[in-house]
Structure 1
Amino acid sequence: MAVNVIGLVVIGVFYVIILIIGIVAGRKSTKTNDAEELFVANRSFGLFVASFTTAATMVGGGYINGTAEAMGRDGLVWAIGPIGYNIGMAIAGVVIAPKVRRMEYSTIFDPFQQKYGEKMGGLLFFPELMGDLFWEAAILGALGTTLSIVLGLDMTMSVIVSACVAVVYTFFGGLYAVAYTDVIQLFFMAVGLLLAIPFGLQNPVVDLSRVKESWAGNLEPEMIGVYIDTICMLIMGGMPWQALYQRVLACKSPTLARNATLLAAVISLLLAIPPAIVGVIGSAADWNATDYNGNIPLEYQQWTHIFPMVLQYLCPMSVSIVGIGAVSAAVMSSADSCVLATGTVFANNIYKNIFRPKATQREIVWVLRVTIIVVGTVGAIIALTVGSVYGLFILCADLMYVVQFPQLVCVLYVKCANTYGSLTGFIIGMFLRVAGGEPFLNIGSLINYPMYHEEYGQLFPFKTLAMLCSLFSIIGVSYVTERLFTCGTISKRYDLFRCYTDKQVVEKTEDTELDKKEPLMKNTEPDLCLKLTT
């Protein structure tokens, strides 16, 4: 396929504009060289910037291409990604956002390290890291396929260039650069997505009567467990993300943080409608009557490309180029958020809190920047080796749902939660999830849950089961260990994680370095034993 020179020039100009805007906006933070400025933008965001950057972060390439893929192939009943994620965002906006903003954390992992200790909080960074990498890979992969189909560009080069642009302005400007480019990118998204619909519908090869019986989709009775699992995972798995709370923590007040998150959920849900319609258009098209040379009917994996295929074969070239601009804007707005979120947590909660407590601001800034480059690189590599964009879009919420969600609920709302419970819940949740297998990553199942099918795999909502087991393990083990230590059943000298041991009463041991550390969580209710027995 020949390269579309005009389209290539237009996208190149768009990338240059975004790069310039990002670097200029980022000058606010680079003047001070303050890590906190890069992390939360001096907590200066108003309603407009906060809501737009949050919505733009949600609406990535995986969101657009994945929604079109699911809607066109499986119907409305299975196009639940945007619905679940935005419901979760709205709940987080009401329940969690005001609370964490009021505490003025730097990242959402601060409460974990304050309550469970630096190392346990660092361990909980693992699900976030994997989720961010899958998320970045999904959106970069979506852009790569779009540029390769519509403009005839090599997918590898498309992914690499897109990742580099997002990394460069995030590298220099931090959250300021990301937020202000997001506002511009959201505008490009809305225009590009809406413009493709009328041209696609008016194409003579599109006949909506072909999908009047299938556009809603079908939910087979044996798939109800999988469906419940997926919708719960999307709602609750979308709530613990650092990328969301990075914007929440940058808001001027807790009230504004709540309102901005709710408004962002509405905006991003509305932006899911155009790609869903594009998916229907792709399903209603007679591809034999187009210049498309692939297999017809479309195979399962080909539906991953349905959005760029509609742009390329059913719309005028000018509209296709504008549509590519929409996908490019979506990718930039989410890719920069992924790398910044991961880099912020690593620099603040891993490097500074665990390895270098006395690190200078300049040192932390450079750790952040190096991490941004590494995460951007790894995400691009994954993007070039995956299959379904929608599969990655769903998978990125998986570990966040099973492992991170119960941890977040307990650290914020369960008073007795401690390191013993957190570690137990982490191990149990992770084991049960991995033991259930993951076909998308070619991981076989160690446990065949009820309703297991040889062809379709786990039909039981085992992810929800793993999440609940993790949640109750945290609460149960935390309650038992608190009672044992505070009532004197077990001597505090055996409090390995020092959850209830004051520094002054720790008996001297051969490990003198342990004695120099502050307690992770002091017992705030010394009369707990009396309360429990009465």
Structure 2
Amino acid sequence: MAVDVPGLVAVVVFYIVILIIGVWASWKSKKVEKTCAGSKSEVTIIGDRNINVLVGVFTMTATWVGGGYIMGTAEAVYSPTQGLIWAMGPPAYLINFLLGGLFFAKPMRSKRYVTMLDPFQHRYGNMFTATLLLPALVSDILWVACILAALGGTMSIILGLSSALSIVISAAVSITYTFLGGLYSVAYTDIIQLSFIFVSMWLCIPFLALSPAVTDNSPTAHLNQTNSHSWLGELELANAGKWADEMLLLALGGLAYQALYQRILSAASSAQAQVTCFAAAGTVFIMGVPSVIIGAVAATADWNQTAYGLPPPFERGEAGKILPLVLQYLTPTWVSVLGIGSVAAAVMSSMDSVLLSSASMFTQNIYKTTLRKQVCGGVCVCLCVFGSVLSKVTQFLLSLSSFFLQASEQELQWVIRVSLLLVGLAGTGLAFGGDSVFAFWLVSGDLLYCLIFPQLVCVLHLRCANTYGAISGYVAGLLLRLVSGEPSLGIPPLLLYPGWKEENGVITQYFPHRTVSMLSSAICVITVSWLVDLGFCHQLIPHSWDLLGVFEERKEAEVEEVPVPHEEKSSILNTKF
């Protein structure tokens, strides 16, 4: 297929504009760093809590409206085995932001956390927090792979450009401006990207309606030789469990994304963070409507009247590329170029957020508080032991050790940059093997839903939750999820739930197994925390068995927080003065 030179030039111009805006935002970030009261790393991670509502709504919406959202929704509506009822993105994300504003924005923002892992670190300590980073990191890498695979497929169809080359170029642009400016670059480029997505996607709709191959878009317009299904889809009772599982995965799993809390924590106040969530709920739903229309058009179009011909995309195994196929064969060339621009914008608006979220959690919660102190601390202890032989230099080595234990702001900045570079490279490499965008989209939130979401609910809203319960819940959720299998990743199930089916040698679970894993994790956290608390507080379990020091720390905290009686305060004041 020949390369579409005018289209390629248009996309290159778009990339250059985005890169210029990202560089400008990085310059703005540097100015804020010079005048801010907080640390430079917080400017990079949460914009010094100075992102206004309008910018916050744009960047939050743009993060969720990625290549997976746009192409996955169109794929679900078009697919004969799914249909509109399985296009869960728009309603699920609407629910996600509403719940986020109601139950998560205020407790997170009011305590001035920097990342989603901060509440875990404050209550459970560093080691358990490090284990939570692993599923979050895997999820982010899969999300990057999902959105880059969406872009690669789109560019290869519309521009005739190599899918691998498209992925590499897009990843390089996104990594570059995020590397330079942190959240400021992400937020301000998101404004341009989301605006372009909205205009270009809606502009495609009239041309689709006027296409000769599309004579009727009604749900019953399928009685022709190229289509044999209604784009509304059907939900049979046997599939209800699978549908509910995937809907809850998208609606609740999104509440465990660091990208969400990065926007919440960058707001100037708790009230502003809640308003941002509520406003984003409406905008993200509206942004999904064009994809639904494109999927419906593809399901009712007569492909035999187009240059694509027969058999239709689904029978060729190209349902995951239905959006670029519709733009390529059912709209004028210049409109399809705008469509590729919208997908590119969606990819970069999500990818930059994902890169920054993973880098932020690793730097703030692992490197700064745990990794660096342990490594440098060990080195400094060795220096001090050696220095004890030379008594004159011992004091100097002790002061040197305390210096090394503190990471400088410049060092943290570079750790963030290196981290986001590594996550970007990992996701880019995985994107080359992605076939179904919708499958990648679901799997990216799987571990967050099963492992981190129940933990986050418990740590924010249950005072009884402790480290013993958290570890038990983590292990229970992880084991149940692993034994359930995952066809998208080629993992066979070891535990078969009721209603499972085997098709072409692949076993699919139709029981809501992800939700079972999530609920089991939450129940374990609550039950084990309560039982352990009961055992230690009533001395049913010896305090010497408190290997994690949970109740020793609680006892010390209670002693520190004991209020001084009013009479005692008065006597103390009188004694002093």
Preserved contact between residue 499 and residue 522 of structure 1 (Cα < 8 Å): no
Question: In structure 2, which of residues 163, 172, 178 is the aligned counterpart of residue 155 of structure 1?
Answer: 163
Q: Distance in 2 between matches of 1:278 and 1:500?
A: 57
Q: Offset of 1:299 from its aligned partner?
A: 2.3
Question: In structure 2, which of residues 78, 85, 97 is the aligned counterpart of residue 72 of structure 1?
Answer: 78
Cα 1:293–1:384 change in 2 (3 A) is farther
Q: Offset of 1:155 from its aligned partner?
A: 0.2
The one-character-per-residue Cα deviations of 1:6-56 (angstroms, maximum 9, x if unpaired) are 111110010011011011111233353811110110100111001110001
Where structure 1 has 5 or more consecutive residues not aligned to the other structure, the ranges are 506-518, 527-534
Tell whether 2:459 aligns with 1:411: yes
Q: Distance in 2 between matches of 1:402 and 1:392?
A: 16
**Aligned counterpart, 2:227:** none
The one-character-per-residue Cα deviations of 1:339-374 (angstroms, maximum 9, x if unpaired) are 000000011111111112421111111010001111
Q: Over alpha carbons, which structure has the higher Rg?
A: 2
**Aligned counterpart, 1:317:** 333
**Aligned counterpart, 2:344:** 328
Question: In structure 1, which of residues 417, 437, 440 is the aligned counterpart of residue 485 of structure 2?
Answer: 437
Q: Distance in 2 between matches of 1:524 and 1:489?
A: 25
Q: Offset of 1:497 from its aligned partner?
A: 1.2
Give runs of aligned pairs for residues 53-202 of structure 1, distance below 5 A: 53-73=59-79, 74-202=82-210
Cα 1:499–1:217 change in 2 (3 A) is same
Give runs of aligned pairs for residues 523-534 of structure 1, distance below 5 A: none
Letter in 2 for 1:304: G
**Aligned counterpart, 1:304:** 320
Question: In structure 2, which of residues 48, 52, 55 is the aligned counterpart of residue 46 of structure 1?
Answer: 52
The one-character-per-residue Cα deviations of 1:159-209 (angstroms, maximum 9, x if unpaired) are 011011000000010000000100111110001100111101110011325
Preserved contact between residue 101 and residue 273 of structure 2 (Cα < 8 Å): yes
Q: Distance in 2 between matches of 1:380 and 1:523?
A: 51
The number of equivalent residue pairs is: 511
Preserved contact between residue 206 and residue 284 of structure 1 (Cα < 8 Å): yes
**Aligned counterpart, 1:530:** none
Q: Distance in 2 between matches of 1:421 and 1:359?
A: 32
Letter in 2 for 1:431: L
Letter in 2 for 1:197: I
Tell whether 2:441 aligns with 1:425: no
Give runs of aligned pairs for residues 17-32 of structure 1, distance below 5 A: 17-31=17-31, 32=33
Question: In structure 2, which of residues 258, 267, 270 is the aligned counterpart of residue 251 of structure 1?
Answer: 267
Q: Offset of 1:81 from its aligned partner?
A: 2.1
Q: Distance in 2 between matches of 1:502 and 1:405?
A: 26
Letter in 2 for 1:318: W
Tell whether 2:466 aligns with 1:458: no
**Aligned counterpart, 1:13:** 13
Deviates more, 1:127-136 or 1:239-248: 127-136
Cα 1:524–1:411 change in 2 (3 A) is farther
Preserved contact between residue 192 and residue 324 of structure 1 (Cα < 8 Å): no
Q: Offset of 1:487 from its aligned partner?
A: 2.0
TM-score relative to the length of structure 2: 0.86
Tell whether 2:371 aligns with 1:363: no
Letter in 2 for 1:131: S
Letter in 1 for 2:66: G
Deviates more, 1:122-131 or 1:367-376: 122-131
Q: Distance in 2 between matches of 1:301 and 1:56?
A: 29
**Aligned counterpart, 2:528:** 477
Q: Distance in 2 between matches of 1:225 and 1:286?
A: 33
The one-character-per-residue Cα deviations of 1:313-354 (angstroms, maximum 9, x if unpaired) are 111111111111111111110000000000000111111111
The one-character-per-residue Cα deviations of 1:215-248 (angstroms, maximum 9, x if unpaired) are 2111122111111111111111111110010010
Deviates more, 1:205-214 or 1:154-163: 205-214
Letter in 1 for 2:58: F
Preserved contact between residue 217 and residue 297 of structure 2 (Cα < 8 Å): no
Cα 1:209–1:144 change in 2 (3 A) is closer
Q: Distance in 2 between matches of 1:294 and 1:340?
A: 44
SS of structure 1 residue aligned to 2:212: coil
**Aligned counterpart, 1:529:** none
Letter in 2 for 1:381: G
SS of structure 2 residue aligned to 1:106: coil
Q: Offset of 1:490 from its aligned partner?
A: 2.0
The one-character-per-residue Cα deviations of 1:260-305 (angstroms, maximum 9, x if unpaired) are 1110111011000001101111111111221116743632731111
Tell whether 2:347 aligns with 1:339: no
TM-score relative to the length of structure 1: 0.93
Letter in 2 for 1:256: Q
Preserved contact between residue 211 and residue 283 of structure 1 (Cα < 8 Å): no
SS of structure 1 residue aligned to 2:2: coil
Q: Distance in 2 between matches of 1:403 and 1:523?
A: 33
Preserved contact between residue 77 and residue 296 of structure 2 (Cα < 8 Å): yes
Q: Distance in 2 between matches of 1:452 and 1:242?
A: 33
Preserved contact between residue 61 and residue 280 of structure 2 (Cα < 8 Å): yes
Preserved contact between residue 138 and residue 383 of structure 1 (Cα < 8 Å): yes
Deviates more, 1:119-128 or 1:56-65: 119-128
Give percent identity, aligned residues only: 43
**Aligned counterpart, 1:494:** 545
Cα 1:19–1:297 change in 2 (3 A) is closer
Preserved contact between residue 81 and residue 394 of structure 1 (Cα < 8 Å): no
Letter in 2 for 1:327: V
Q: Distance in 1 between matches of 2:456 and 2:150?
A: 30
Q: Offset of 1:106 from its aligned partner?
A: 0.5
Letter in 2 for 1:488: Q
Cα 1:297–1:188 change in 2 (3 A) is closer
The one-character-per-residue Cα deviations of 1:401-428 (angstroms, maximum 9, x if unpaired) are 1111100000001101011111110010
Preserved contact between residue 93 and residue 284 of structure 2 (Cα < 8 Å): no
Deviates more, 1:4-13 or 1:454-463: 454-463
Q: Distance in 2 between matches of 1:524 and 1:238?
A: 37
Letter in 2 for 1:474: V
Deviates more, 1:31-40 or 1:476-485: 31-40
Q: Distance in 2 between matches of 1:46 and 1:130?
A: 31
Preserved contact between residue 200 and residue 206 of structure 1 (Cα < 8 Å): yes
Preserved contact between residue 500 and residue 523 of structure 1 (Cα < 8 Å): no
Cα 1:415–1:382 change in 2 (3 A) is same
Letter in 1 for 2:73: T
SS of structure 2 residue aligned to 1:454: strand
**Aligned counterpart, 2:434:** 386
Cα 1:305–1:297 change in 2 (3 A) is closer
Tell whether 2:255 aligns with 1:207: no
Cα 1:458–1:177 change in 2 (3 A) is same
The one-character-per-residue Cα deviations of 1:464-485 (angstroms, maximum 9, x if unpaired) are 1111110000001111111112
Cα 1:400–1:104 change in 2 (3 A) is same
SS of structure 1 residue aligned to 2:54: helix
SS of structure 1 residue aligned to 2:551: coil
**Aligned counterpart, 2:224:** none
Cα 1:297–1:104 change in 2 (3 A) is closer
